[in-house]
A = this chain, B = another copy of it.
Amino acid sequence: MYELGIVKRNITRADRRAVDRLAGFGVATVHEAMGRVGLMKPHMRPIFAGAQIAGSAVTVLLQPGDNWMLHVAAEQIQPGDIVVAACTADNDDGFFGDLLATSYRARGASGLVIEAGVRDVKVLSEMRFPVWSKAISAKGTVKSTLGSVNIPLVCAGALVQPGDAIVADDDGVVVVPAAMVNKVADAAAAREANESDKRAKLAAGVLGLDMYNMREPLQKAGLRYLD
């Protein structure tokens, strides 16, 4: 973990079909299907609303103020990948802009998740190249200190192994270990089937109190109604 100066070329990507299914469910459903784990912290926000993607992670460990490894990572991208970048220290510099986005898109990347800053957000939005970041900043970076590509790393509080499935939408970003994508996609599908029925009932005025049979446990827990 976190060895510096390394690029791992061969990584095992999550099953593409399962990843595509995950994209359809969105982050909240996948997170629940995972057993409520794997979520990145909520300071990771999309630079524009409405994108909902999933892909396999190409991971990048950056040094503060230095985006060299984002260039190194480009070569490792395969179509459908999502680049996931973390930094060895909290840093809001603009590590990524429209030129890198052009390159990443040419390589087939679906998007970027970076616990740091990005810039050229107007152009990125026009390109519809989705980015989840913790800051927007025009601050430029140097290219002088090595990090690594495709090592396990922690991004926004979540462990990411290269090849893991990443799902991202307006609610944030969740990580699904590559070995679990099929199981999680199945669980998500079951959950979603279940939800449309619930939604209809709730829309018709049925209370969750009744639909979920909460009244008895609430009473046992000691809830008192006062007039």
Most buried by B among A8, A71, A97, A195: A71
Of residues 99 to 115 in A, which have CB atoms within 8 Å of B's CB atoms? 99-100, 102-103, 105-107
Contacting pair B71 A214 (CB below 8 A): yes
Known A-B contacts A28-B120, A205-B107; A140 and B36 likewise in contact (beta carbons under 8 Å): yes
The answer on a CB contact under 8 Å between A136 and B74 is no
Contact partner of A142 (CB less than 8 A), chosen from B3, B63, B158, is: B63
- Which residue on chain B has the smallest CB distance to residue A161? B1
Chain B residues within an 8 Å CB radius of A139: 31, 36, 39, 42, 88-89
Asked whether, in the complex, the Cβ of A222 is within 8 Å of the Cβ of B103, the reply is no
Q: Is A216 an interface residue (CB 8 A)?
A: no
Q: Inside 8 A of A193's CB, which chain B residues have their CB?
A: none
A79 lies within 8 A of chain B by Cβ: no
Q: Is the CB of B88 within 8 A of A120?
A: no
**How many protomers of this protein does the assembly include?**
6
Residue A128, interface by CB 8 Å: no
Inter-subunit contact A122/B50 (CB<8 Å): yes
The distance from the CB of A214 to the nearest CB of chain B, in whole angstroms, is 6
Check A136/B171 contact, CB under 8 A, given A65-B64, A224-B6, A224-B7. Answer: yes
B226 x A92 contact (CB < 8 A): no
A144 touches B146 (CB 8 A): no
Q: Is A85 an interface residue (CB 8 A)?
A: no
Give, as a whole number of angstroms, the nearest-CB distance from A18 to chain B.
18
Asked if B72 and A209 sit within 8 Å, CB to CB, the answer is: yes
Residues of B within 8 A of A27 (CB): 119, 138
Chain B residues near A198 (CB, 8 Å)? 99
Q: Which of A174-220 contact B (CB under 8 A)?
A: 174, 177, 195, 198-199, 202-205, 207-209, 212, 214, 217-218
Q: Which residues of B contact A207 (CB under 8 A)?
A: 71, 74-75, 103
Residues of A at under 8 Å CB distance from B? Answer: 1-10, 26-28, 31-32, 35-39, 41-42, 45, 49-50, 52, 63-66, 68, 71-72, 74-75, 88-94, 97-100, 102-103, 105-107, 117, 119-122, 125, 135-140, 142-146, 152, 154, 157-159, 169-172, 174, 177, 195, 198-199, 202-205, 207-209, 212, 214, 217-218, 221-227
